[in-house]
A and B are shown apart, each in its own frame.
Chain A
């Protein structure tokens, strides 16, 4: 099992550019979560999917953020246009069922917007 795979590992972009983060969940996991981690705010849930359907996107900070899950093995988080305050580590996690026995996290994408 390769675990949750995220790409890219690091992304540096200029303010105003579009950024796309990618995630491949563990095969057989039907829940997928996107989190953002910063020193100031810790780990914040942005959005989660069940069976490819968005269930709760109340954590998405604003309309510049969007997420999709076109199939069970792939999800994207897009920021357009990006701003310096979006700089953070973005984690994807997946779980079987509701994940009440824990999620498996990817290694994260470290985003820097300059």
Chain B
């Protein structure tokens, strides 16, 4: 079993929809959680990070962590075609070693 599990999709939504992306993880030592966005043929770029459980909001993006159920979510409001990309969740303990999920491919159709 991978330490971080993520449905690869693809997920296709119409422009303006609310998108929900989810991951589960198995390592109880994870304290830090991140979402990266990766456009085709580019390196991943950090979108959001959170520490421990709770919510964090940044513009149209909300990251949510529930440590009791080992569940990580990313919500995108008012999705845009420019949001079309692969979204990778990741977790880490305090070692700095970041473990990634498989990534979910999102397509937002105009």
Contact = CB atoms under 8 A, between A and B. Distances in A.
Tell me, yes or no, whether A binds B: yes
Nearest to A100: B32
A42 B97 CA distance: 16
Which of B36, B51, B95 counts the most A-chain CB atoms under 10 A from its CB?
B95
A33 B90 CA distance: 14
Interface residues of A, number: 26
Contacts of A101: 49
Contacts of B95: 56, 98
Interface stretch (B10-18, B59-67, B74-82, B100-108): B100-108
Nearest to B44: A105
Given A56-B97, A98-B95, A103-B46, 7 more contacts: A33-B98, A42-B101, A98-B94, A101-B49, A102-B34, A102-B49, A105-B45
Interface of A: 4, 31, 33, 35, 42-45, 48, 50, 56, 91, 93, 95, 97-108
- Interface size class for chain B? 20 to 34
B94 A105 contact: no
A42 B103 contact: yes
A42 to B, nearest CB: 4
Nearest to B47: A102
Nearest to B43: A105
B85 interface: no
20 contacts: A31-B96, A42-B100, A43-B100, A44-B100, A45-B99, A56-B97, A97-B96, A99-B92, A99-B96, A100-B51, A100-B92, A100-B94, A102-B34, A102-B46, A103-B46, A104-B46, A105-B36, A105-B43, A105-B45, A108-B43
Contacts of B32: 100
Interface string B27-57: 0000010101000001111100101000000
